[in-house]
Amino acid sequence: MKKRILIVTLNDYVIYQPTILNLYDALSPDFDVTVISFQPQFATKQKDSQRNIIYLQTNSWMSQFYQKFDFVMSKLAKARKKFSPGYIYYNQYYHTYLPSILKAALQKQKSNADIVIAVDFPALYVAQSIFGPVHFLSLEIDNNTNRYYRLVDPAKVKSVVVQSQVRYDYLFPKHLLRTFIIPNAPVFIPAIKSSAERKDFIWAGAIDRRLAVIECIEFFNRYPQYKLILKGGGDKKTQRLISEKYHDLIRTERIVIDRIYLPEGTFIEFLSSFRIGFCFYAWGLIHDSFNYQTAPSGKMLMYMAAGIPVIACRIPGFTFIQEAGAGVLIDDYEPDTIFRAVQQIGAEYERYVAACYKVAADNSIDKHISPYVKFLKEE
């Protein structure tokens, strides 16, 4: 009989978390794997129908209460930050309400799991309170002032999966835990389309102002000879702003918004039709967040697997792109800056494409995940 593995997360967008999905697929031949997530309702409504995923439900009245409460408190927090710059308000919907639902669900699963893998610190804290020592998968890093960061017990962390050594050192600077560095990357299969067939530009992933998507669109407003596809779900307010502010670009199809979900393999094939991709974050977000400074973006490595050179913000997490020659890092999002990056890539396009494939091959998740699967089999 196969051992039972439980992967638990507080997020409601598991279909956009390739590390979880790839880990599930890698473990399934040897284990009975179940993922516990939440009913998708914000970034997407899409569910994964191919894997064994339990989707937890929230109470609509309680959800509205916490969301309105968080809205008011976030406004007050902005005012308080003027006098206390270090003050951070933590969303109570995510940090209080969802953990309470997850805790109740895990109580029911207590006898149904031989191995538990908790995704990020709030889920880790909840899982430790129910199961004791568990394994930890780090995807998103809250700054280490987060209360769950202080509440989890490193002595009850059986292993850590994280995307880079820098991120591990930030999370556990005083602890030598069993660690597996696994990039947030797809399994690499060379794209079937030649670079000569490629055209247009692609923004893959969340359509969210915090990711500087508006600044990206301004480039196409200034240079209307180019076309951008916005591919992904995201923030409704941002999408409404784009629809209103860039109505003419949308009407003339210089910008096309495509929210249709594609599974990983199909998505990479879709990406391979495009010439250049973007990966931006708002500079304020980068300044305030270690997570974004060191972000091992999943969409970045999707671009690489599709052979798409990228134009990206200059952050420590993206230095490997410049070092590999797989894209151009920029220090501002001015349209002229982006145009120069486009020209730079175009001048040696085939070399950039080849570098992308090299990065994708080096980071292919199947190479890095095998030792972790072996470790869990031997536990």
pLDDT, one tens digit per residue, over 206-264 is 899 999 999 999 999 999 999 999 998 877 888 888 989 999 999 999 999 998 888 88
Q: Residue 144: its pLDDT value, please?
A: 59
Identify how many contiguous H helices and E strands the chain contains and give both numbers.
18, 13
Which domains occur in the chain, in start order?
Answer: 3-185+365-378 (3.40.50.11930), 195-363 (3.40.50.2000)
For the chain, the distance separating the N- and C-terminal CA atoms, rounded to the nearest angstrom, is 15
Backbone angles phi, psi at 115, to 5 degrees: -135, 135
Consecutive H or E run containing 237? helix 236-245
For the record, the structure tokens of 283 come out as 């500079």
Q: Residue 229: its pLDDT value, please?
A: 96
**Segment 251-303, tens digit of pLDDT:** 999 999 998 888 888 889 899 999 999 999 999 989 888 889 998 778 899 99
Q: Which of 228, 225, 214, 210 is nearest to 277 (CA)?
A: 228
Give how far Cα 354 sits from Cα of 114, 203, 223, Å: 43, 21, 27
Report yes or no: 36 and 105 within 8 Å, Cβ to Cβ.
Answer: yes
Backbone angles phi, psi at 322, to 5 degrees: -70, -40
Q: Residue 145: its pLDDT value, please?
A: 60
Backbone angles phi, psi at 157, to 5 degrees: -105, 110
Report yes or no: 211 and 46 within 8 Å, Cβ to Cβ.
Answer: no
The DSSP symbol for 207 reads B
For the record, the structure tokens of 366 come out as 């199947």
**Rounded Cα gap, residues 332 and 23, in angstroms:** 36
Report yes or no: 228 and 335 within 8 Å, Cβ to Cβ.
Answer: no
Q: Residue 246: its pLDDT value, please?
A: 92
**Rounded Cα gap, residues 167 and 143, in angstroms:** 11
Q: Residue 249: its pLDDT value, please?
A: 92
DSSP output for 317-373: GGHHHHHHTSEEEES---HHHHHHHHHHHHHTHHHHHHHHHHHHHHH-HHHHHHHHH
Sheet holding 115-119, edge to edge: 53-56, 31-38, 3-8, 115-119, 134-137, 157-162, 179-181
Backbone angles phi, psi at 72, to 5 degrees: -65, -45
**Rounded Cα gap, residues 364 and 187, in angstroms:** 5
Give the residues of the chain that fall short of pLDDT 70: 43, 86, 143-145, 191-194
Give how far Cα 277 sits from Cα of 24, 196, 305, Å: 28, 16, 12
| CB-CB neighbours of 130 under 10 Å | 20
Backbone angles phi, psi at 215, to 5 degrees: -60, -35
For the record, the structure tokens of 317 come out as 């997490």
